[in-house]
Amino acid sequence: MNEITPVRDTNEGLEQPGVTRRGLLSAVSMAGVFAAVGLSPVAALAQAPANATAQKIANHFSSVKTMMGEFVQFGPRGEQTGGKFYIERPGKLRFNYEDPSPMRVISDGNNVVIGNMKLKTWDIYPLSKTPLSLLLSDKIDLSNDKVKGVKEEPDLTTIVLGDKSIFGEATITLMFDPKTFDLRQWTTTDTQNKDTTVMIFNVQTGVDFDKRVFNINYDEVRRRGK
């Protein structure tokens, strides 16, 4: 997939980084995050129905149609990497990980692909079968017992989401600023109780992306897919 510039030139003053061949911490850890296979619930929070606070935060989060920023990811063995992310609702996302990671993640609104640019391989998942289908939707509906836990603190509001039709047996823990309702970080836990945490910062919203940012080259994916 060719190098492109995520932000259109019409947005003066916004960062315009080139999309390079970066990717994930590892194909295994992020495939677990995005495919939501075998993640275990967070035991620290009590079970709770969706409440007004959780839905209010979700409404704010889903009202942000485009965003970009930087992230740092901490793996279960203490490994750390970072990079830039790009989101456009509904359903579109791109993670560009810094070297030396050979991975990248793209969602075009229909499918999510995880590519290893060093091995020249791709994994593909239907967006509807991943937690991204909920998080990247135009409207995040937290009814029908999707909220498994809510914890409100002075400096942090934590929400645990789970829905077998979307997450399988998985949950994802989202942490928000209680005043601005801005997303700060999320954590997933695998079946061995190992956490992967992603923290985001320097977030910009209302960005006008180049339409190619979220394109998936399906010919390349089929040719190099496992």
In contact, 33 and 105? CB cutoff 8 Å: no
Lowest mean pLDDT, pick from 112-116, 117-121, 139-143, 209-213: 139-143
Task: Provide the whole-model pTM.
Answer: 0.74
More confident residue, 22 or 98: 98
Residue 19, pLDDT above cutoff 60: no
pLDDT digits (tens, 9 = 90+) for 195-212: 889 999 999 999 999 989
- For residue 100, whether the previous peptide bond is cis, meaning omega lies within 30 degrees of 0, is yes
Lowest mean pLDDT, pick from 5-9, 112-116, 125-129, 218-222: 5-9
Q: Is residue 141 classed as helix, strand or coil in its secondary structure?
A: coil
Over residues 61-85, the mean pLDDT reads 92
Average pLDDT, the chain: 76
More confident residue, 116 or 8: 116
pLDDT digits (tens, 9 = 90+) for 150-175: 888 999 999 887 766 655 666 678 99
Angle 201-207-209 (CA atoms, 0-180°, nearest 5)? 115
